[in-house]
């Protein structure tokens, strides 16, 4: 598998961005693709069963440090994605990435700049990055 750079992907999307040039179309398609990712993940539990959700209220000791909290938090997921569900989710995430990149192109924003900015913010704020 080859490693693609953000700029390469942005150029590819730009070349094939024909039907989705309107900002309104891009925004609505982006929302739709996000919903499709959510639905695909939900179906891993409700249709396939390769994942299960076990969620409950967590209690935290008053004297817990930030390092302790990392061990106390959970994704609430049990199991592992099957190959079929993984393929569907990767496909839906790819569409989501396409529309995010299309939005960057339309607004004249470099996708790498977005990634670098977010990485700097997460690195700087560390565990206090609660977005």
The total of structural domains in the chain comes to: 1
Task: Give the residue numbers spanning the domain of 51.
Answer: 6-126
Q: Residue 56: its pLDDT value, please? A: 85
Residue 131 lies in a domain: no
- Is 33:27 a contact under the CB 8 Å cutoff? no
Could you list the pLDDT tens digit for every one of the 131 residues in the chain?
A: 677 899 999 999 999 887 768 999 999 999 999 999 999 999 999 999 999 999 888 777 788 777 777 777 788 999 999 999 999 999 999 999 999 999 999 999 999 999 999 999 888 877 666 65
**Cα–Cα distance, 125 to 119 (Å, whole number):** 10
Residue-level pLDDT at 75 = 86
Query: Using CA atoms, how far apart are residues 12 and 4, in angstroms rounded to an integer?
Result: 11
pLDDT of residue 130: 61
Whether 96 is covered by a domain: the verdict is yes
Alpha helices in 1-131 (DSSP H): 6-16, 23-43, 66-72, 83-106, 111-125
Query: What pLDDT shows up at residue 65?
Result: 77
Whether 94 maps to a domain, the answer reads: yes
The predicted pLDDT at position 1 comes to 60
Predicted pLDDT at 55: 86
Is residue 1 one of the residues assigned to a domain? no
Q: Which of 45, 48, 109, 106 is nearest to 77 (CA)?
A: 45
60 phi, psi to nearest 5 deg: -120, 135
Q: Which CATH number do you get for residue 121?
A: 1.10.287.1080
């Amino acid at each position: 598998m080859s490693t693609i750079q953000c700029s390469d992907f942005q150029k590819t999307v730009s070349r094939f961005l024909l039907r989705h040039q309107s900002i309104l179309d891009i925004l609505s398609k982006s929302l739709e693709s996000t919903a499709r990712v959510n639905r695909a993940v939900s179906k891993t539990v409700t249709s396939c069963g390769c994942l299960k959700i076990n969620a409950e209220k967590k209690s935290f000791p008053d004297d817990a440090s930030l390092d302790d909290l990392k061990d106390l938090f959970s994704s609430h997921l049990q199991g592992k994605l099957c190959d079929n569900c993984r393929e569907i989710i990767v496909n839906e995430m790819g569409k989501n990435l396409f529309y995010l990149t299309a939005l960057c192109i339309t607004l004249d924003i470099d996708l790498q700049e977005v990634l670098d900015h977010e990485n700097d913010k997460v690195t700087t704020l560390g565990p206090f990055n609660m977005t």
